[in-house]
Copies of this chain bind each other. A is one copy, B any other.
Amino acid sequence: MRVPFEQLYGELRRVLLKEGFTEDRAELSARLFAEASRDGFYTHGLNRFPTYLEYIRKGFIDIHAVPEKVEGMGAVERWDGRRGPGNINAYLSMRRAIELSRTYGMGCVAIKNTNHWMRAGSYGWQAAEAGCIGICWTNTLPNLVPWGAEERKIGNNPIVLAVPREEGPVILDIAMSQFSYGNLNAYSSRGEALPVAGGYDGEGRLTNDPDQILASGKLLPIGYWKGSGLSILLDLIAMMLSGGRSTYEVGLDEGEQAVSQVFLAFDTTALSDRNMLKEKLEHVIDDLHRSMPAQGHRDVRYPGEDTLRRRDDHMRNGIPVDPQIWQTVLDA
């Protein structure tokens, strides 16, 4: 089932207004959800909307909370998200980081007490569309097993790296787990094995079986010990820069509340060689596109390349929605 972007956005906006959001905040939050689905990131678009409402009703998210500046040191600012809606807080944080970058060449906003930002890539696109290199990450609840351990202790801490480009930015949007729960469920429902090991079975052995991983809850970090280390460092840096909670502290609470995030923007619009950089960027992309594909692959693409194709299809033919979830929104 497919629905037009305007209808998806309009219904989400309507529900948020009914929840009590002010008009501008309902529009921003609804737009970020609708754009996630529009770009094919369904798990952090419409599909996540019911959990968002649930978190609001449980009091985990304060829909009226506006982030507050706690401390500023030139290019770096620390903000308190005051447990407000995660996508609104994240958007405002990246907007402020971009503003700081116009003055200082780069800007950093670290925010504590914020909530799940939904689609990580949203804030990479935001930076890139402002002509900035954007880097941002969040910590999460402890949902991954550190290298050498038997228990979940570290977060999958999604990170985004974005480079502006007129024909469509280069954007990497990844979590530290090799597969997301969404991916594991998709393989499981198709009855397929994962193409590579994705986690541990009940005996602590690596496995490609999505059902065994879903049962154990032990997802593998990318690159084994390397992704485990990356997750720990991203968490510690987010905690220190923001003064907020670590993954360990997030795990002491119910659900996933009051996380810590970092937003970096580097202004590329003022660089003296920006025209040459555009050419050099195309050389890298052309070289990637010229790669001989490996067996089982049709072509080699740059990170984010598929997003524009999906967006184009969805804007012309409608955005695929889960009929049940869509109905709950229509009924809300």
Q: Which residues of A contact B (CB under 8 A)?
A: 71-76, 78, 103-106, 108, 133, 135, 145-151, 153, 161-163, 170, 172, 174, 178, 196-197, 200, 204, 206, 222-224, 226-227, 229-230, 232-237, 239-241, 243, 246-249, 266-268, 270-273, 276-277, 280-281, 283-284, 287-288, 291-295, 297, 299-303
- Report A225 CB to chain B, min CB distance, Å: 9
Contacts of A300 in B (CB 8 A): 146-149, 153
Max count, chain B CB within 10 A of own CB: residue among A200, A230, A240: A240
Contacts of A237 in B (CB 8 A): 133, 135, 161, 163, 266
Candidates B163, B206, B232, B293; contact of A236 at CB < 8 Å: B163
Closest to A148 in B: B297
- A105 contacts B74, C-beta separation under 8 Å: yes
Candidates B103, B106, B178, B287; contact of A226 at CB < 8 Å: B178
A277 to B249: give the CA distance in the assembly, Å.
13
A299 to B147: give the CA distance in the assembly, Å.
10
Using A149-B294, A178-B223 as known contacts, list a sample of 16 further A-B pairs with CB atoms less than 8 Å apart, ordered by residue number in A: A74-B75, A74-B106, A104-B104, A146-B288, A148-B299, A148-B300, A150-B293, A153-B300, A161-B234, A161-B237, A162-B233, A170-B233, A222-B223, A232-B284, A233-B303, A239-B280
Nearest 6 interchain pairs by C-beta: A222-B223, A73-B105, A76-B105, A74-B104, A148-B297, A149-B291
- A229 contacts B292, C-beta separation under 8 Å: no
- B232 contacts A226, C-beta separation under 8 Å: no
- B288 contacts A151, C-beta separation under 8 Å: no
Closest to A276 in B: B243
Contacts of A272 in B (CB 8 A): 71
- A104 contacts B76, C-beta separation under 8 Å: yes
- B104 contacts A73, C-beta separation under 8 Å: yes
Candidates B76, B222, B233, B248; contact of A222 at CB < 8 Å: B222
Would you give 6 A-B contacts (Cβ < 8 Å), ordered by A?
A145-B294, A148-B294, A149-B288, A170-B236, A172-B230, A178-B224
Contacts of A75 in B (CB 8 A): 74-75, 104-106
- B266 contacts A108, C-beta separation under 8 Å: yes
Contacts of A105 in B (CB 8 A): 72-76, 108
A302 to B178: give the CA distance in the assembly, Å.
20
A248 to B104: give the CA distance in the assembly, Å.
30
- B240 contacts A163, C-beta separation under 8 Å: yes
* Contact A149 B292, CB 8 Å, known A248-B284, A248-B287: yes
Contacts of A240 in B (CB 8 A): 133, 163, 268, 271, 277, 281
- Report A129 CB to chain B, min CB distance, Å: 16
